[in-house]
Amino acid sequence: CNENVNFNYTDSFIFSSDGTMRILVPAQETLEEVAQQLSWLKLLEGGHHEPLDCQARYKIAIIVPYRDRLSNLCTFLLNMHPFLTKQQLDYSIFIVEQFDDSLFNRAMLMNVGFNEALKLREFECFFFHDVDLIPENDRNIYSCPDQPRHMSVAIDKFNYSLPYVDLFGGVIGLNRNHFQLVNGFSNQYWGWGAEDDDMAYRVKAHGLNITRYAPNVARYRMLSHVNQESNPLRFEILRNSRVRFSTDGLNSLKYRVESLKQLPLFTYILVDLSGES
């Protein structure tokens, strides 16, 4: 398939000719309402879509770590499905929700999403995606990256400029081999912060490069939300992260799936992380 063709059913009310997208707002913040608003896309079970008239190059999994942000989730789904469908991708969206009461472990949830997605299908590329980031330009192509790609380069919250050169948070894309090569994310970061910096270190330590699209394309809006509780230990854990790359990650991941469901707009994985520390 050619990525990013014009829709036959061009929704010019969403996409303008210069690539800028108008961000859609759910009529009501319920999943049923969003599914209704997206019924024209003819999504398949589990939030899956593939082009009808051509073969997509890769099978792509969008992995979203999640807890208690229904409002953000509704807006995310309402905007991401038309955006990804327009790019003629073969993709599925996975929402990975933390079940236990421990501090949010974003990195571990993404490791779980990777593991569980691969049990369902041979995905070749993975986009690890915060639920509060909405792309604003449809030339920001979610194709399989040759090198790890930082997608959310220019966010409105940061005046559309990169806060620091090694930032590797928000939205990133890696192919399966590279994610396995770096042993996935660390499982050690409970609470907000530094797990993405740890991943940037992993990528570099394995001789890979972080790539980016131009900031006028890789633009995102950040939705409003209550901030996660931060991790006071993060600087300490990050300081000696290197010694743990090979022992802390996909190969030490422990969790229990409480529920796995193919819902109309996404595959839902509810997971208990509390067995791991």
Q: For residue 168, what is the DSSP state? A: -
The CA–CA distances, whole Å, from 95 to 50, 149, 169 equal 19, 21, 17
Residue closer to ligand NGS by CB (options 90, 197) is 197
Taking CB under 6 A as the rule, does residue 234 contact ligand NGS?
Answer: yes
CB of 234 to ligand NGS, least distance (A): 5
Q: How many residues does the chain have?
A: 277
Q: Please, are residues 144 and 124 in contact by the beta-carbon 8 Å criterion?
A: yes
Out of 196, 218, 255, 265, the residue judged to bind ligand NGS by CB under 6 A? 196
Residue closer to ligand NGS by CB (options 89, 108) is 108
Query: Which 125-184 residues touch ligand NGS, going by CB under 6 A?
Result: 163, 169
CB of 159 to ligand NGS, least distance (A): 12
The CA–CA distances, whole Å, from 26 to 76, 88, 149 equal 10, 23, 29
Mapped onto helix, strand or coil, the DSSP state of residue 246 is: coil
Taking CB under 6 A as the rule, does residue 191 contact ligand NGS?
Answer: no
273, 194, 206: which is closest to 237 by C-alpha? 194
Taking CB under 6 A as the rule, does residue 197 contact ligand NGS?
Answer: yes
CB of 155 to ligand NGS, least distance (A): 7
User: Which positions ≥6 away from 68 have C-beta within 8 Å?
Assistant: none
Residue closer to ligand NGS by CB (options 99, 160) is 160
CB of 45 to ligand NGS, least distance (A): 33
Residue closer to ligand NGS by CB (options 232, 275) is 232
Residue closer to ligand NGS by CB (options 47, 169) is 169
78, 94, 31: which is closest to 270 by C-alpha? 94
Taking CB under 6 A as the rule, does residue 202 contact ligand NGS?
Answer: no
User: Which positions ≥6 away from 51 have C-beta within 8 Å?
Assistant: 1, 88, 89, 90
Binding site for ligand NGS (CB under 6 A): 163, 169, 193-194, 196-197, 234, 238
